[in-house]
């Protein structure tokens, strides 16, 4: 039932320049410096540049992030390779999960490498955006229990407590380059900044979503 609800509420638009027949993974030829530059210049909507947090929750431990994101990237690739439903996992947002399922259904995944050997991981950009982080395990993909409680408290206190009442959803975003023997991929990660200890998830891969 949850997966059908996600499909109903989360749409996506695929980049028209993709080719999942010739490139069943990455969906385009290996990225070069110009490709990376173009991806970095993609317009980022609702950019928030003045976000601050008293508990320093925006801090990123780069070594741990790279280590954990390597594992997540490998799980995403394996899920794609083994023809599993991305909506059963929380590594990718609902829209990306549905898009990956669709791409794979028209791809020849038999030609994909069985294993990937990641040689390099590099954080190439980071920023903040206003908005909700959507996830496959949230109610209709939009709200977790903690987020609902946060919204109810913020709405109930009223404008006299402006530091809470004026809060808007804020996402921390990171663009990360993964280079392996087989592929060069750029993944866009995001997490909710309004509630501590939120997990990272992938919202785009090589900007297949537009």
C-alpha 58, offset from chain centre: 17
- Please list the residues that pair with 125 across neighbouring strands: 175
Residues 69 and 189 sit within 8 Å (Cβ to Cβ): yes
CA dist 141 and 106 (Å) reads 25
Which ranges constitute the DSSP H helices of 18-122? 33-40, 62-81, 94-105
Residue 80's pLDDT is what?
A: 96
Report d(CA 110, CA 113) in Å as an integer: 8
The pLDDT value recorded for residue 62 is 87
Handedness of CA 152, 153, 159, 163 (dihedral sign): negative
3-state SS assignment for residue 42: coil
pLDDT confidence of residue 34: 61
pLDDT tens-place string over residues 23-34: 999 998 776 656
* pLDDT value of position 166: 46
Structure tokens at 122: 């590099």
* Tokens encoding 202: 């992938």
Angle between helical axes of 62-81 and 94-105 (0-180°, round to 10)? 40
pLDDT for the residue numbered 107:
87
Nearest one of 123, 128, 126 to 70, comparing CA atoms: 123
Identify the pLDDT of residue 55: 55
Domain ranges of the chain: 2-205
Query: Helix, strand or coil for residue 60?
Result: coil
Q: Output the pLDDT for position 158.
A: 52
CA–CA distance, 18 with 23 (Å, rounded to integer) = 8
| Residues of the chain below pLDDT 70 | 31-58, 150-168
| 85 contacts 195 by C-beta, under 8 angstroms | no
In this prediction, residue 197 carries a pLDDT of 82
CA dist., res. 21 & res. 105, Å (int)? 11
**DSSP 3-state assignment of 178?**
strand
């Amino acid at each position: 039932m949850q997966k059908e609800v996600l499909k109903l509420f989360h749409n996506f638009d695929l980049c028209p320049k993709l080719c999942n027949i010739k490139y069943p993974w990455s969906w385009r030829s290996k990225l070069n410096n110009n490709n990376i530059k173009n991806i970095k210049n993609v317009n980022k909507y609702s950019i928030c540049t003045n976000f601050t947090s008293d508990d320093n929750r925006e801090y990123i431990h780069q070594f741990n992030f790279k280590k954990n994101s390597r594992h997540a990237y490998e799980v995403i690739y394996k899920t794609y390779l083994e023809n599993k439903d991305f909506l059963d996992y929380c590594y990718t947002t609902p829209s990306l999960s549905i898009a990956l399922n669709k791409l794979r259904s028209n791809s020849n995944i038999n030609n994909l490498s069985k294993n990937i050997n990641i040689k390099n991981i590099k954080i190439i950009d980071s920023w903040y955006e206003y908005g909700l982080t959507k996830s496959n395990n949230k109610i209709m993909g939009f709200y977790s229990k903690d987020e609902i409680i946060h919204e109810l408290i913020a709405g109930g206190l009223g404008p006299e407590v402006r530091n809470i009442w004026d809060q808007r959803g804020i996402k921390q975003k990171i663009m990360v380059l993964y280079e392996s023997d087989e592929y060069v991929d750029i993944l866009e990660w995001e997490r909710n900044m309004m509630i501590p200890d939120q997990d990272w998830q992938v919202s785009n891969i090589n900007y297949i979503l537009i």
